[in-house]
Amino acid sequence: MIHTADKAIASLEIPPEEKRPATTAALVVLSLQQDQVYATTAHIGDSRIYLLRSEALQRLTEDNGYFPFAVRRGIITKEASRQIEQAERASDLSPEEQAHFARRHQITCAVGWSDFPRIQTRSLALVPGDTLVVCTDGVHDNLTDHEIATVLHQSDENKAQRLVSAAYQRSQQMHFRAKPDDITAIVVSYS
């Protein structure tokens, strides 16, 4: 599906003065195989898929963005990129780290650019109680992973709406992490 969308967007005839359209994609397919539920993910860009299992929130995708690029190039370490990307206040970062933080919105590939080396995929067995979150960067740029987990633990109902509301409220504030952007979330709980 991602390759088909990429080819369709890339084949559009766009006047030279216009910017080529592109998008990020994060997909989850749930399947049942021999009484076991699996989640298979596919991903391009900086939309993310998270797994909340027990109390721990983990990313199932790695952004195609500035931080992984900077780590691959040896500009910063993986530990430093995580600390910078998850900062809650500017005062938590040095001026150099703030410069890296300011580049967090930059992506290195998208559907429609036909430049991704491979589509990230993953399959994992789910256990009862697992929660999957698919969200755009408007959610995870405005909220830290800790804040996302906190929202998910608050209630069993309307988790997606709560995430979107929290991210939107942050985007409207004079806050270090505030970023006006598309804010979308899908939350699926397996019980």
Element (H or E) spanning 154, and its range?
helix 145-154
Q: Are strands 48-53 and 185-189 parallel, antiparallel or unpaired?
A: unpaired
Total structural domains within the chain: 1
CATH code where residue 172 lies: 3.60.40.10
Rounded to 5 degrees, what angle do the CA atoms 102, 27, 141 make?
Answer: 20
Angle between helix 159-171 and helix 145-154 axes, rounded to 10 deg: 140
Q: Is residue 183 part of a domain?
A: yes
Any domain includes 184: yes
Q: Tell whether 72 is covered by a domain.
A: no
The reported pLDDT for the residue numbered 191 is: 87
Model pLDDT, residue 151: 95
Would 89 be classed as within a structural domain? no
Residue 163 lies in a domain: yes
Q: Is 181 within a domain?
A: yes
List the pLDDT tens digit at each of the 191 positions of the chain: 999 999 999 899 999 899 888 999 999 999 999 999 999 999 999 999 999 998 899 999 999 999 999 999 999 999 999 999 999 999 999 999 999 999 999 999 999 988 777 899 999 999 999 999 999 999 999 999 999 999 999 877 899 999 999 999 999 999 999 999 899 999 999 98
- Structural domain includes residue 142: yes
107 domain-assigned: no
Domain range for 37: 29-62+119-189
Residue 137: exposure state from Cβ atoms within 10 A (0-12, 13-18, ≥19): buried
